[in-house]
Chain A
Amino acid sequence: MGAELFSSKQMCRRLRTKTMFYQSEPDPSVPPSNDNSFWCTHSMNCMGPDGEVAEPKMCLPGRGCFESV
């Protein structure tokens, strides 16, 4: 799960994972996975400011602390 996921306008702009900062091109032969560590730049923690987990499936529109890109 890398930069391409975060280009989605649906993702909260406060969500981060290390792969966002990789300079390499994604390898299409490697299937995306969701085994990364994520954090929220609002709480600087793996939990968001609302106390729920920060991760791609959670940090979506509708969540109270969501901030659009």
Chain B
Amino acid sequence: MIELKIDIDKKDKRDFMGRYQALYRYFRFNLVDYEIAETRKGYHVRLIIDFPFRVTSEEIVLLQLLLGSDWKREMLNYLRVKNGIDDWNKLFKVKYRIYKKGSKIKFRRLSYERPIKNKHKL
């Protein structure tokens, strides 16, 4: 059982649909659970998938890339995997930028996930 975290940086969902359908057609995996959240730029998709074969961390990065995840994020993920950093697959619910005002540390929200109101009417 693996978890794929896909960061889609555009509001157009057709590209992701096509990629997901193609992947399903070729690998015939079992989708156990999924979660989709909307962000300012696009969508965050979390899929829990039961593959019929063993999948390594590098292959998870490849699958995320095939499903149209942000290439920059996947590049950093690959670097983390290659350097043996555990807990490498990150997809933040909320993201803040840290800045300093005088001697105080402040935060500015960059992005956040919000649930899609009507999933089936997406």
Do A and B associate with each other? no
